[in-house]
Structure 1
Amino acid sequence: MTTTQQLTPSLVRVVLGGGDLAALSMPDATDAYVNVAIPPPGAPYDDIFVPADVRERFPKETWPARRRYTVRSWDPTAQVLTLDFVVHGDTGVAGPWAAGVQVGDVLVFEGPNGGYLPDADADWHLMVGDESALPAIAASLEILTPGAKAVVRLVCDGPAHELELSSPGEVDLLWLHRAGVASDEDLLVSSVKVAAFPEGRVHAFVHGEAVEIREIRRHLLVDRGLTRADMSCSPYWRRDMADEAWRAVKRDFVAAMETEVA
């Protein structure tokens, strides 16, 4: 760990250097992600470990928690990797770790992998999400060609949670703010439904809270006529579930989502 920075009340930037980063091979994707492994307090193994070895040699209750985080940036010359962590109080595993991390601490991860890159041949781009999708959306906006059109809709907890986003493209950006009420889950969906879409073929990136993403996906495919091939869509988390509970059902949720509108 080289530096940490509190970007917003709920977003912590962690910059990594050294270790095995010299061997890192980054995919050509703006949603590149790593699978971090965070051991529980008092874990009976060293700070540097191989997750597969831990699972083989130690009891399950001591295994590290696995979480997936998008790479915000990678500098192959300086061999510096930047990750942004969403932190909501002291709940979860990775968020509290990022909130308390110190320079010199070790982060074990596997990867990276990734699959989305803005299609330079698309007529315009749609990017939709929340804090969990913000690193990928920010990275995607930065590599758009000059003049490329992008419609971006982002939801967060208020003005203090917004980040300045830069792009050489022409960006229609709207931040939506939660108010701590039940209707918060409709903000992103409603915003996409009323958005004015440019003419031509769109390449879409739609990631965030599971129920919101499922509804937006349905709207884009059924009402807007997008094709599945022109959309990167994935639920990162679910509002009514803790991390571990969501991980246990995510595969089935995604399968059902893919089946309802193919």
Structure 2
Amino acid sequence: MSIERDSVKHPLVVRRVTVSAVAQITANLRRITLSGDELAGFVSSGPTDHLKVFFPDPATGELTAPTMTETGIVRPDTGVIISRDYTPLGFRSHDGHHELDIDFVVHGDDGPASAWASRAKRGDLLAIAGPRGSKLLPHGATHVILVADETALPASSRWIDMLPTSVTLTGLFEVAEVGGEDYFTPEQHARISAEWFYRTDGLGQIDPALRSLGSIGESTFVFLAGEAGMLVPLRRYLRRELGLSKKQVAADGYWRRGIINADHHEPIDPSDPED
């Protein structure tokens, strides 16, 4: 049975929201809960959805974001727009109260998103836009392999929660240090057969771990996400050595070492384009 993955589009909406809770999930992952009436109607249907988060200018504290009009999206004439893409982890709506969780990797003041998230508190303002669309769960997959670093743990969490229990789950996760595995709940740990690799033990551990899984059948879907450079040899192995089809492998470079605000829509390996 071939694997198919449908897509759906959502109306693009820009929403102003307020921080209502902050929780430290692991040493370098903070969960920011956003609330507000403008979250009414928020939709996120796929495990790999992403939205645009707009941050205040650290120099002025001013939040600048585009607005939606009848003719489309309009960028303001003044102010500095600072935005990054993030996974909408979880959305809850009850009795007119709406909440959206987004998890941020914090690494000091190296970037505006990390700097903001490390200091976020109740009452802070943000704007979000999207998701513009969703890629749904793959039809025909009986086994899903998740390969991710910290930046893709929220998407991995969505995969775990959204896949039916009839689908076998395997995970290979690279995190900074021991304790990163605490990101998943006990119920999620029970759902997936996972190996955790710590960068304190050295880089490059995922490649041999993926190869050690052996042959990968035609009903297996592989999700690769994280630092783009790490994913290049993994994708080449799956697509070129094992010969897996394009429909069986999704590789998404959430960030690229040495590049500020890298576009994750770009191919992770321009020298080896998709078929």
TMscore range, shorter length: 0.7 to 0.9
Question: Unpaired segments of 5 or more residues in structure 2?
Answer: 1-18
Q: Deviations over 1:67-99 (max 9, x none)?
A: 000011111334211100011122111111111
Mapped to 2, the partners of 1:199 and 1:169 lie a distance apart of: 23
TM-score between the two structures when normalised by the length of structure 1: 0.84
Q: Structure 1 vs Structure 2: percent identity of aligned residues? A: 24
Counterpart for residue 139 of structure 1: 158
Q: Deviations over 1:193-230 (max 9, x none)?
A: 22245655111211111111111111111122211112
Deviation at 1:178, TM superposition (A): 0.5
Q: Deviations over 1:143-173 (max 9, x none)?
A: 2222421111000011222223434985220
- Higher RCO, 1 or 2 (CA under 8 Å, sep at least 6)? 2
Higher strand share: 2
Does 2:34 correspond to 1:16?
Answer: yes
2:123 aligns with: 104
Q: Does 1:236 align with 2:254?
A: yes
Question: How many Å separate the matches in 1 of 2:156 and 2:40?
Answer: 26
2:248 is aligned with what amino acid? D
Q: Does 2:179 correspond to 1:160?
A: yes
| C-alpha contact 1:128 1:207 (8 A) present in aligned 2 | yes
Measured after TM superposition, the shift of residue 133 of structure 1 is 0.6
Q: Does 1:206 align with 2:227?
A: no
Matched, 1:171 2:192: yes
Residues 37-84 of structure 1 show CA distances to partners (whole Å, capped at 9, x for unaligned) of 113234485x474368885412xxx41221000011111334211100
RMSD of equivalent CA atoms = 2.7
SS in 1 for 2:110: coil
SS state of the match for residue 83, structure 2?
strand
Structure 1 portions without partners, runs of 5+ = none
Please tell me whether the aligned partners of residues 148 and 169 of structure 1 are also in contact (alpha carbons under 8 angstroms). no
Are residues 44 and 174 of structure 1, via their aligned partners in 2, closer, same or farther at CA, if it must alter by over 3 Å?
Answer: closer
Give the match for residue 47 of structure 2: 30
Q: Is the 8 A contact 2:51 2:128 kept in 1?
A: yes
Tell me the distance in 1 between the aligned counterparts of 2:44 and 2:265: 24
In structure 2, the partner of 1:81 is 100
- Secondary structure at the aligned position of 2:85 is classed as strand
Once residues 212 and 68 of structure 1 are traced to their aligned partners in structure 2, the CA distance between those partners, rounded to angstroms, is 19
- Structure-1 separation of matches of 2:128 and 2:91: 15
- TM-score of the superposition, structure 2-length normalised? 0.80
Q: Which moved more, 1:134-143 or 1:163-172?
A: 163-172
Q: Which whole-Å CA distance do the structure 2 matches of 1:5 and 1:44 have between them?
A: 23
Alignment check: 8 A CA contact 2:171 2:194 kept: yes
